[in-house]
Chains A and B, each alone.
Chain A
Amino acid sequence: MQDGAGCATMECMSTPLFRVQHLHKRYGDAEVVKDLSFEIEPGECLGVIGPNGAGKTTTIRMCLGLTAPDNGSVEVMGLHMPRDALAIKAQLGVVSQFDTLDPDFTCAENLLVYGRYFGMKDAAIRARIPQLLEFASLTSKASAKPGELSGGMKRRLSLARALVNDPRLLLLDEPTTGLDPQARHLMWERLQLLLQQGKSILLTTHFMDEAERLCTRLLVLDHGRKIAEGKPRDLIARHLEPDVVEVYGNGALALVDSPLRNMAARVEVSGETVFFYTSDAASLLSALGAHTQLRTLHRPANLEDLFLKLTGRQIREDA
C-alpha cells in the first residue's frame, strides 16, 4: 500500500490512519524524542524497537495524548491530538505495558465495565463478551478474577478489553514482556488473526523474533531518534552481511588479530564470543576447521544482529 494503491481519492491518501510528524519532547535537559515522523497504513503492523530509554514509551504516550509534545503533531484518522483526544481514543484499542485490569471484577465484568467507558450500552457489551472471551481463550475463566489468572491470561484479557470497542487501530506497548514461550506464541497467533481481519497495529517490543514475525514494517529508535525504518528483511539485507559465524571457546579472541579476520566483512567481540559477519561463510568455516578447540555456530543474520549493530552492544545505564 506504499504507493497508495487501494486509495481511489486524494482525500484518502492525505488522511492516513495514523501520522506522526516532527515529534519532539524534552524533559529538562534531556531530549527524549527528537524529530520523529512516521505513518501507519491500514492493515499494517508497525513495530517500534529500541533499547530502554530510546523514547518508545514517551512516543506511545504522546500518541495517546497523555504527554503533550513540545513540537510536532499526531494525527489519527483525520483527527488531531491532543485536541480530539477523546474522539481518537474512541477508535483505538490500547494495551499498556503493565496490566491495569480491575482486580475486584471477574473477566466478564472487566470487559463490561471497560466497554461502558466507551459509552457503549450494557446490552451491546454483553453481546460482545462471549466472543471476546473466546478470542482470548478465556471462555472457561469468565467468572474468574484477574488474581486467579496466569500472566499470559491477564495479557490476553487486556487485549480482549482493548477490543471491546472494535477499534481499527491497536496500540500495544510490549504486549508479551514477561510471558513464557507458550503464552507468547498464543499472543502472536491472536495478533496475526487481528491483522488478517484488517486491523492495524502499532507495537513496541524488545523481542526481535516477535518484531520479525509480526511486523510489516519496523522503526528503530535510539536516543529518541529514528535510526532506521523499513521491512524487517529489507533492513537486514541493507545493513548486514547475510551470514553470521559465532566462534567461542579457548583462543577465540585471538582470531580477531589473525588472518581469518579478513575473511569476514565485519567482526565483533562480545564477552568471549567473536561474531564474523560474512557473505562467504563456507570459506570461513573451512578455515576455522583447523582450530579444533573452537566451537562455531553458523546462522543467517537476523534482526537481533541488526539491532545490536545499530544501537550497540553496551548495556544502557537506565536499562
Chain B
Amino acid sequence: MTNESVWRAPRLSLRFWPVFLRNLLVWRKLAIPSLVGNIAEPLMWLVAFGYGMGALVGQITVDGAQVPYILFLASGSICMSAMQAASFEALYSAFSRMHVQKTWDGIMNAPVGLDDIVMAEMLWAAFKSLFTVTAILGVMLALGISHSPKLLLAWPILLGVGITFSCMALVFNALAKGYDFFTYYFTLFLTPMMFLSGIFFPLDQLPVAVRVVADWLPLSNAVALVRPLFMDQWPAHVLRHALVLVAYATVAFWVALALTRKRFRR
C-alpha cells in the first residue's frame, strides 16, 4: 500500500454541501458589512473614472460601434470585480480556514474527503463573487448605465468567471506559507492582467506582441464575452472564449487539488 499519486482523478461527491453550508452560515452573520466592503470600492472606481474620465474620453469605439466610456468601463470592471471577489475569498479566507483555524482538519475527521472540501471552497468563492457581482449589477442598472435585456446572460457567465478565478486562486492557496505570499499573486499576476484585458482601455492600441499574450488571458476572454451583452449585442467567438475559461478552470482545479493533497499528505 504505497502512496497514491496526488494527480489521481478528483473524487467528488455531494458531501461538499455541508462544507459549503458552513461557509454560508458564517457569511450570513457578516453579510451586510462584507457586502458594503465588496461593492463600495468597485462602484467608487466606476463612478469616479467612468464619469470623470468619461467626460474627457467621450465615446469609445468597440467593434465598430460607438459607446459611452462609462458603459465600456462598467462592462469590463464587472468582470474584474468577479475576479477580485473570487480571488480574495479563495486566497485569504480559504487560507484562514485551511491553515490558521484548521477548520479543514476538523472536517476531515468527519466523513468528508479533502477533494470535496476543495470543491466546496471553490464553489463558495464563486458564489460569493456572484453575490458581489449581482449587487454591483443592480447598482449599474439603477444608474442606467445599461438596460440591455442580454444582461441576464451576463450573470451565468460571471459565475463562470468566478469559478475560473476561484480555481486559480486555490492553486496559490495550496502553495502558501502565509498571507504575504498572496501579495505576489495580486501584484504580479492579477493587477497586470487587469491592464491587459481591455477593462480601462481598448486592446487594439497595444503592440501586437502584447495583444497575442492578452488574447489568452482569462480575464480578457471574460470581458470579450460580457462586454457585448452590456451593449445589447451578441459576443463573437463565444465558443473560443468560453473554452479558454473552461480550460483555465479545469487545469487550475486539478493542479489546486493535487497541490492541496500534497500539502495535507505530510
Contact = CB atoms under 8 A, between A and B. Distances in A.
Given A61-B266, A68-B4, A85-B113, A101 B108 contact: no
A297 to B, nearest CB: 42
A119 B2 CA distance: 30
Given A70-B2, A96-B105, A102 B26 contact: yes
A67 B106 contact: no
A96 B111 contact: no
Given A70-B2, A100-B101, A100-B103, A114 B110 contact: yes
A90 B25 CA distance: 23
A113 B113 contact: no
Contact-residue bracket for chain B: 20 to 34
B34 to A, nearest CB: 12
B109 A118 contact: no
A66 B266 CA distance: 9
B101 A103 contact: yes
A103 B26 CA distance: 10
Contacts of B101: 100, 102-103
B262 interface: no
B235 to A, nearest CB: 40
B147 interface: no
Contacts of A90: 111
A70 B264 CA distance: 16
A116 interface: yes
Given A86-B113, A102-B26, A66 B108 contact: yes
B89 to A, nearest CB: 15
Contacts of B259: none
Contact of A117 (B3, B4, B18, B264): B18
B35 interface: no
A68 B26 contact: no
Contacts of A162: 109
Contacts of A68: 1-4, 265
Interface centre among B3, B26, B109 (most CB of A within 10 A): B109
A113 B25 contact: yes
A67 B266 contact: yes
Given A98-B102, A117-B111, A104 B26 contact: yes
A159 interface: no
Given A68-B3, A71-B1, A73-B1, A102 B22 contact: yes
B119 interface: no
A135 interface: no
A304 B81 CA distance: 61
B153 interface: no
Interface string B253-264: 000000000001
A117 B110 contact: yes
A69 interface: yes
A119 B18 CA distance: 8
A105 interface: yes
Contacts of A101: 106
Contact of B264 (A66, A100, A113, A114): A66
A100 B96 CA distance: 12
Contacts of A87: 111
A221 interface: no
Contact of B18 (A89, A105, A113): A113
A229 interface: no
A94 interface: yes
A166 interface: no
Contacts of B102: 98, 100
Interface string A34-47: 00000000000000
Interface in B86-125: 101-103, 105-113
Contacts of A214: none
A221 to B, nearest CB: 18
26 contacts: A67-B265, A67-B266, A68-B1, A68-B2, A68-B265, A70-B2, A73-B1, A89-B109, A94-B109, A100-B102, A100-B103, A100-B106, A101-B106, A102-B22, A102-B26, A103-B101, A104-B26, A104-B29, A114-B110, A116-B21, A117-B15, A117-B112, A119-B18, A119-B111, A162-B109, A165-B110
Given A66-B264, A85-B111, 8 more contacts: A89-B109, A98-B102, A100-B101, A100-B109, A114-B106, A117-B15, A118-B111, A119-B18
